[in-house]
Structure 1
Amino acid sequence: MKPTPEHNNRMATMTFTSVYPHYVTKIEKKGRTEDELQKVIEWLTGFNKNQVQTFIDEKATFKTFFEKANLNPNAHLIKGVICGYRIEDIENTLTKQVRYLDKLVDELAKGRKMEKILRVA
């Protein structure tokens, strides 16, 4: 499936605040912790827990969230399908970055070891 321009726009305008609680619920249902989620987010974006909380408090969009992120140089190693989209085939940079985060959260929820989630070249 290829993301449409409408889909890409929806990704850009969606707030991190609206999605974060779903991430927490998803991983906690599977026995993982919010601290592990924070570690994954920090690996991908460079944001510490306080910075993530600021984005939540400010109701920042994913566009703002990823514009301010310092994306991990190994993020390109995140591959596979998430939400019906093959990550490596997504052309829109922001949509790809959002799907990177979705994929990492999914791997965390599925019980993948942290060393595997935090990819090393």
Structure 2
Amino acid sequence: SQRQERRELMRVPDVGGDSGRLGHDKACLNFKLPGGQVNTHTFQVTAGAFDVYTKVFEMLPDKERQFFIELSGPGVNRRKLDDNSFSLDLQGMGIQGGKTYDVQVSQPRQ
């Protein structure tokens, strides 16, 4: 079931911060949040897209409003992260190890 899959994904360890040297199996994601805050986290390229979604949700100050996520960087041109992406890992979305990507987060006013 999807609920069980999400619980399993929540157990995936998050590697926080940028170690300065990325291996071929890790990518650096710069999270650009509403309001201008930028946070950088390193993820295994085998991590699921849902892990990125979860990290964004953790960082959002306003968790009540809907939000949208868009990835861009080497080999990835403004790819939206949505329910259809959750079954993919980062590599499956075009994220390559050793590279840095932007994660643009928007939260339209209602």
| TM-score bucket of the superposed structures, by smaller chain | 0.3 to 0.5
User: Normalized per residue, which structure has more helix?
Assistant: 1
TM-score (norm 1): 0.40
Structure with the bigger percentage of strand: 2
* TM-score, L = length of structure 2: 0.43
